[in-house]
Amino acid sequence: MEVVRITPRGYCHGVVEAIRIAKRVGTERAEGEKVTMLGYLVHNEHVTRELQEHGVELVDAPDRMKGLDQIESGTVVFTAHGISPQVVAEAERRGLNVVDATCSDVTRTHDLVRRLTDEGRHVVYIGKRGHPEPAGALGVAPGLTTLVERIEEVDELDFPPGTPLAVTCQTTLSMWDTKAIIDRLVERFPDISVHNEICLATQQRQEAAVIAATDVDCVVVVGSRRSSNSLRLVQVVEERAGKPAFLVDTAAELQEAWFAGMRRIGVTAGASTPTQLTREVIAAIEAFEAVQQAGAAVPAL
């Protein structure tokens, strides 16, 4: 059994920077000061535990505004997924020290939404309901943005005739999914202004996984089930390459039965997955093969 290490994989620049910011704030906090991240800084439990060791506590609140009710004082760290201006303003009104760890790619999307709506356009935002990134982006221009998750929802859109429109998207989605929805939007609204904001790191990881999948028997994606980009890696391998794909958070979740009859296993990782976890998964898969060889019957002489 050969393990094919798919590159690029693992941490993207936005995750690296967000973790650096949060660790610094936790380490440099004044004695007795509370530092709280409002939601998972990045969608990985292992990163969250590491940050807690640096003094950064977690308030897990899907509704960020309500989550502020659980933070009485100190510093609040906003996650890499972005935050709405209303939540920032409320945190400052309550006297909290605000630290923004939003990924620069997400910030660019916020700036784009602001510019497009300032120009008088209504923005159709392609994203996953319940994910913090769309919540933050839609908060940039409430009432001037509409969330669409599935291609079928495009046919349900109803804007007054002549409404100037634009479309953009969550940065961690599948580029193929967004293309299908954008194509349908253009079909319905030919004058819509198109801005596909899939981040480069996401796109590169998806393309690499699909290309590698054509030459392996299956792909193992190391990442959290909370992670949108990890889930999308599984999806694109299955749908675009037609190969089995398995999502694991740690090596302990691997099942040897998955690899029965297989010789080449591709391994990649989501953008918020620590490198050490991926290394442990690779070592565990290679150990499966070693065990199989050690237990093989010795031919009679």
Outline where 29-160 has alpha helix (H). 45-53, 64-67, 85-93, 104-118, 132-138
28 given a catalytic annotation: no
Written as six digits, the tokens of 218 are: 């299956």
Q: In sequence order, what DSSP letters do the residues of the chain get, joined into one string?
A: -EEEE-SS-S--HHHHHHHHHHHHHHHHPPTT--EEEES-SSS-HHHHHHHHHTTEEEE--SSHHHHGGG--SSEEEE-TT---HHHHHHHHHTTPEEEE---HHHHHHHHHHHHHHHTTPEEEEE--TT-HHHHHHHTTSTTSEEEE-SGGGGGG----TT--EEEEE-TTS-HHHHHHHHHHHHHH-TTPEE-----HHHHHHHHHHHHHHTTSSEEEEE--TT-HHHHHHHHHIIIII---EEEESSGGG--GGGGTT--EEEEEE-TT--HHHHHHHHHHHHHHHHHHHHTSPPPP-
Q: How does DSSP classify residue 300? A: P
Rounded Cα distance between 257 and 237, Å, is 20
Written as six digits, the tokens of 90 are: 């409320």
For residue 279, how far is the Cα from the chain centroid?
A: 20
Catalytic residue, candidates 133, 207, 239, 280: 133
Written as six digits, the tokens of 281 are: 């998964």
Written as six digits, the tokens of 266 are: 């591709």
Catalytic residues: 133
